[in-house]
């Protein structure tokens, strides 16, 4: 549908327009919102199915509550697209997930309608609870609403927050069940009662009954308590709601979350109660778009380029390993497709464990498996593995248990932004004793490390980016004087190199580009590609063996945080073990320097982080200018072109 066909949506320019819309126009608005999402997200990439499922809910939130005075926090934030469209960002929606454009998640500072920055799961209830407690302390009348899916509900942080939630706050937690069944009930009776309990007449009857019984002398209060106990017992049998009410929270639902009338009535009732309430909705992921409804997993995220990447290759290789070794098992935290384990799950279901959004549990669970003699492979995105740092340190490394960590998306995340940058793992994993860290740059190297991992007796981590195999890398580098995969060298003149670039991971392509520009200026340049990052002495010794004896400039290039990163630790070990060799060398470390690398318009993500090929070139030219010039007629010059 062309944008000029949005008869109703094009008239929405603010909250007042959403609330003023005649009720009979709401179904048409919901249809246009779905068309708008499909038209735009299939072009920009992003989370499609989850947003199609929350259209009615989001419209109801914008009509029932006074946003942004009241606040809504979408857990993870990947289902906040409709919220963005209805607030103040429809005209900029074509910039979704683009440099300088709209974030794919809620983001503080992007709009006053975004109350809290999101991107990681299971944080919404804690943040909303903080807002609600602040309102109570300050005497404010704001409502705060947390919207989370059943996937986020599996995260322990949600339950920690619910456990600390007092019953007297203006806090509404909306549990959007769209994939897995959280309730125990099914059947016509449960559906009928759920529909009845979401009606306005039901709520009026409840209020009238309470008022009547409370006025009956002597027996009124005991009768009221008895009715409440009977009601809770019946609800617990049908819906399994005793968990929430056992925490002292009111529970309403479940209702059809794609039935606008039912959702609005439930929100109005929750608002009227002015207390802590849990609303349970059931929505259809991908609602209104047939391909997404039929295959919601495939349309959860569009434009990701999963096919043929490191994740998929890892999954295929692990299947082969599992066929030969019955102790091999795989663990993921609600990212089966993303980390490439779908084939493994289908082929070896008894050895595959998806623990939900519970990275801490995943790691300690793997430690238990390892202690029992199994060979666990834990595949988690770099940005999510951060959550389990203590478990890696205490439960795995301290006990020297051979858990194998597959650190996926270990690189800058251009589309998803800073919440998903995999730039910290090399730093925080490098500091952990007893753990080895590897960074294969090709599929062949990944396979070699995986083969070696079968026989490890210690913890190990293998980190790799979200990319396909790069023939340029495989064809360019060779192992110089060694059969291991510690370092690959690309040298035009090993003995006479004046410039040396040391790097690891996907950013080696920037190093190769910088080397080509330096060679074009007549500067002999070598590139060293590390694939073992820890133990530190291993890469340090291999780097030393590849350095020329003559004066040279050295740049260590790292797609990761500078402080405590692999570059800092490796260079420190190099200086300690080979100080004499470095006396006539100028050394500089290029890494992400104490910031989150928020990409801006007209810049590549490497340029934003100041680790692009041209950053390497400029740094190298500066270092070379302080070295003795071998040929005075050929002075290096900087290439200013970006």
CB 280 within 8 A of CB 175: yes
- Cα–Cα distance list, 445 to 81, 160, 324, 429, 534 (Å): 39, 41, 20, 20, 16
**Residues whose CB falls within 8 Å of the CB of residue 407, separated by 6 or more in sequence, listed in order:** 380, 381, 382, 385, 422, 425, 429, 461, 462, 463, 464
The token pair at 47 is 């989370």
CB 630 within 8 A of CB 498: yes
Residue whose C-alpha is closest to residue 484's, from 548, 433, 436, 518 = 436
Residues, the chain: 642
Residue whose C-alpha is closest to residue 383's, from 114, 118, 80 = 118
- Cα–Cα distance list, 129 to 147, 149, 392 (Å): 12, 17, 29
**Residues whose CB falls within 8 Å of the CB of residue 173, separated by 6 or more in sequence, listed in order:** 125, 128, 145, 146, 148, 162, 165, 249, 276, 277, 278, 279
Q: What angle (nearest 5°) sits at the alpha carbon of residue 15, between those of residues 13 and 18? A: 80
The token pair at 303 is 């434009």
Residue whose C-alpha is closest to residue 381's, from 348, 347, 357, 345 = 357
With H, G, I as helix, E, B as strand and everything else as coil, classify residue 178.
Answer: coil
**Residues whose CB falls within 8 Å of the CB of residue 604, separated by 6 or more in sequence, listed in order:** 612
Phi, psi of 427 (to 5 degrees): -75, -50
With H, G, I as helix, E, B as strand and everything else as coil, classify residue 361.
Answer: helix
DSSP per residue over 278-347, as a string? EEEEE--TTTT-HHHHH-TTTTTSBS---TTBHHHHHHHHHHHHHHH-TTEEEEESS-TTTTT-HHHHHH
Q: 168: how many CB neighbours lie within 10 A of its CB? A: 12
The token pair at 312 is 């998929």
With H, G, I as helix, E, B as strand and everything else as coil, classify residue 458.
Answer: coil
The token pair at 55 is 């259209």
**Residues whose CB falls within 8 Å of the CB of residue 307, separated by 6 or more in sequence, listed in order:** none
Q: Would you please indicate which residues are annotated as catalytic (active-site) residues?
A: 285, 359, 387
Alpha-carbon gap, residue 41 to 57, rounded angstroms: 19
């Amino acid at each position: 549908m062309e944008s000029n066909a949005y008869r109703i949506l094009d008239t929405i320019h603010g909250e007042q327009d959403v609330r003023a819309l005649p009720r009979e126009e709401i179904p048409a608005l919901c249809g246009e919102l779905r068309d708008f999402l499909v038209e735009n997200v299939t072009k920009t990439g992003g989370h499609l199915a989850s947003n199609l499922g929350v259209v009615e809910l989001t419209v109801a939130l914008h009509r029932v509550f006074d946003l942004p005075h009241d606040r809504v926090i979408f857990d993870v934030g990947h289902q906040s697209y409709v919220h963005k469209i209805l607030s103040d960002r429809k005209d900029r929606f074509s910039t979704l997930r683009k440099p300088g454009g709209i974030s794919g998640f809620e983001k503080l500072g992007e709009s006053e309608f975004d109350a809290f920055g999101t991107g990681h799961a299971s944080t919404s209830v804690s943040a909303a609870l903080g807002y609600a407690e602040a309102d109570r302390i300050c005497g404010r009348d704001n409502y705060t609403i947390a919207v989370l899916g059943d996937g986020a509900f599996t995260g322990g942080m949600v339950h920690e927050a619910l456990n600390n939630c007092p019953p007297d706050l203006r806090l509404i937690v909306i549990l959007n069940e769209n994939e897995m069944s959280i309730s125990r009930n099914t059947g016509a009776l449960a559906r009928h009662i759920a529909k009845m309990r979401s009606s306005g007449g039901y709520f009026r009857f409840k209020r009238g009954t309470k008022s009547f019984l409370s006025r009956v002398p002597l027996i009124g209060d005991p009768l009221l308590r008895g009715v409440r106990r009977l009601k809770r017992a019946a609800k617990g049998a049908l819906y399994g709601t005793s968990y929430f009410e056992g925490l002292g929270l009111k529970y309403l639902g479940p209702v059809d979350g794609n039935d606008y009338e039912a959702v609005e009535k439930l929100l109005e009732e929750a608002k009227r109660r002015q207390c802590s309430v849990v609303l349970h909705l059931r929505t259809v992921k991908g609602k209104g778009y047939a391909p997404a409804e039929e295959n919601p997993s495939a349309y959860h995220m569009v434009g990701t380029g999963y096919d043929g990447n490191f994740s998929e290759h890892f999954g295929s290789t692990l299947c082969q390993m599992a066929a030969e070794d019955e102790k091999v098992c795989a663990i993921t935290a609600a990212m089966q497709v993303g980390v490439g384990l779908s084939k493994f799950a289908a082929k070896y279901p008894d050895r595959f464990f998806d623990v939900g959004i519970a990275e801490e549990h995943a790691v300690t669970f793997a430690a238990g498996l390892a202690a029992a003699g199994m060979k666990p492979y834990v595949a988690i995105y770099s940005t999510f593995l951060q959550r389990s740092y203590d478990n890696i340190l205490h439960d795995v490394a301290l006990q020297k248990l051979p858990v194998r960590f597959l650190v996926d998306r270990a690189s800058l995340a251009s589309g998803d932004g800073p919440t998903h940058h995999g730039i910290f793992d090399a730093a925080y994993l490098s500091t952990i004793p007893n753990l080895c860290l590897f960074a294969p740059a090709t599929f062949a190297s990944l396979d070699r490390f995986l083969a070696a991992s079968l026989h490890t007796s210690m913890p190990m981590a293998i980190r790799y980016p979200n990319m396909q195999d790069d023939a340029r890398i495989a064809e360019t580098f060779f192992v110089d004087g060694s059969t291991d995969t510690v370092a690959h060298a690309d040298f035009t003149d090993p003995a006479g190199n004046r410039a040396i670039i040391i790097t690891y991971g996907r950013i080696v392509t920037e190093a190769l580009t910088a080397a080509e520009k330096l060679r074009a200026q007549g500067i002999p340049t070598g590139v060293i590609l590390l694939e073992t990052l820890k133990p530190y002495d291993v890469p340090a010794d291999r780097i030393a063996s590849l350095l020329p004896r003559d004066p040279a400039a050295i740049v260590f290039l790292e797609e990761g945080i500078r402080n405590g990163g692999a570059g800092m630790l490796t260079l420190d070990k190099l200086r300690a073990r080979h100080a004499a060799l470095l006396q006539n060398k100028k050394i500089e470390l290029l890494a992400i320097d104490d910031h989150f690398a928020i990409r801006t318009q007209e810049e590549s993500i490497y340029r934003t982080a100041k680790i692009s090929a041209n950053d390497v070139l400029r740094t190298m030219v500066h270092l070379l200018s302080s070295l003795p010039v071998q040929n005075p007629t050929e002075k290096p010059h900087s290439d200013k072109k970006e």
